Structure 1
Amino acid sequence: MKQVDELNLFKKFIVEQGYSLVVVKNGFVLHKTRGEGLKPFLEAIDKLQHKIHYSTVLDKILGKASALLCLHSKAEKVYALNATVEAKNILKKRGVTVYVSETVDHVRNKAGDGLCPFEKLVEKIDSPYEAYMVLKKKVYEWI
């Protein structure tokens, strides 16, 4: 495997090729996937387990729910196309480096007329582990 720059990977996979999530560690791609919602991230956590720790997460949309999953997976850096102020603050307070193309007020649902259901689920949750368990349970209920 060839080691590459994370910013170039972000541009290539997220911006140009439309992947929804890419996990990079020490310059190598560990996981890349397309999909909607948080299912791709939850699958990456389950598949990679401890290998995801201290990695860089390249994500399309970063809200509170995915920020808590980044903390649960012990991400060191996060790149995102769009991120909420709350998500950026959650990560920065815990020492995670965050790079964002555009800051948004909220992560919207598919219809665009309300808050993302995953964001609603974690509104009152601050624990990364609790968020992971709640989100995982809900995602697999919806399948």
Structure 2
Amino acid sequence: MDELVRILQDGNHSLVVAGDGIRTFDGQCISDLYGLLTEHPDWLRDASVADKVVGKGAAALLILGGVRELFAGVISTSALGLLEDSGISLRFAEKVPYIINRKGDGLCPVEALCKDCKTAAECLPFIQGFINKLRI
């Protein structure tokens, strides 16, 4: 995991996934994680992941993807709550009350959409809707 964290930080990547090889990603928000879950789910199953920012939506995707271990540079309290009983081994550098949006003036939109969800599966339709709006 230390090697993944180094790759994440040194390369200024948003996401690093190690399973069958090491893959780096530089997308914004949860688009890369969502793409992995929907297009390459085998890349997440039992993988080690280093993610720059993990909110509740990202946590849900990681759980649904079957990730084995996670390092989060920043993690929200709600993401931590969702991950608590997931069986994912977790390390993080900083815990925050919530993930802030890009403007810095409020809650991340995905964090807001998923705030009342109790399970990862409940989050998925909200995440799908958000991603679909981004693609329009």
- Give the corresponding residue for 1:7: 2
Q: Whole-Å Cα distance in 2 between the matches of residues 40 and 117 of structure 1?
A: 16
Consecutive unaligned residues of structure 2, counting only runs of 5 or more, are none
Q: Which of 25, 37, 52 is equivalent to 1:60? A: 52
CA offset at residue 124 of structure 1? Answer: 1.4
Answer whether contact 2:44 2:62 (CA < 8 A) is retained.
Answer: no
- Report the number of matched residues: 135
Answer whether contact 2:14 2:26 (CA < 8 A) is retained.
Answer: yes
- Give the corresponding residue for 2:118: 126
CA offset at residue 134 of structure 1? Answer: 2.2
Task: Report whether the alignment pairs 1:76 with 2:71.
Answer: no
Q: Whole-Å Cα distance in 1 between the matches of residues 93 and 112 of structure 2?
A: 24
Taking only the aligned residue pairs, the percentage that are identical comes to 21
Q: Which amino acid aligns with 2:120?
A: P
Q: Which of 94, 100, 114 is equivalent to 2:92? A: 100
Q: Whole-Å Cα distance in 2 between the matches of residues 87 and 25 of structure 1?
A: 23
Name segments (4+ residues, structure 1) moved above 6 Å: none
Consecutive unaligned residues of structure 1, counting only runs of 5 or more, are 1-5
Superposition RMSD on alpha carbons, in Å?
1.6
Shift of the 48–112 alpha-carbon distance from structure 1 to 2, 3 Å rule, reads same
- Give the corresponding residue for 2:19: 25
3-state secondary structure, aligned to 1:80:
strand
CA offset at residue 9 of structure 1? Answer: 1.8
TM-score w.r.t. structure 2 length?
0.89
Which has the higher mean CA deviation after the structures are superposed, 131-140 or 93-102? 131-140
TM-score w.r.t. structure 1 length?
0.85
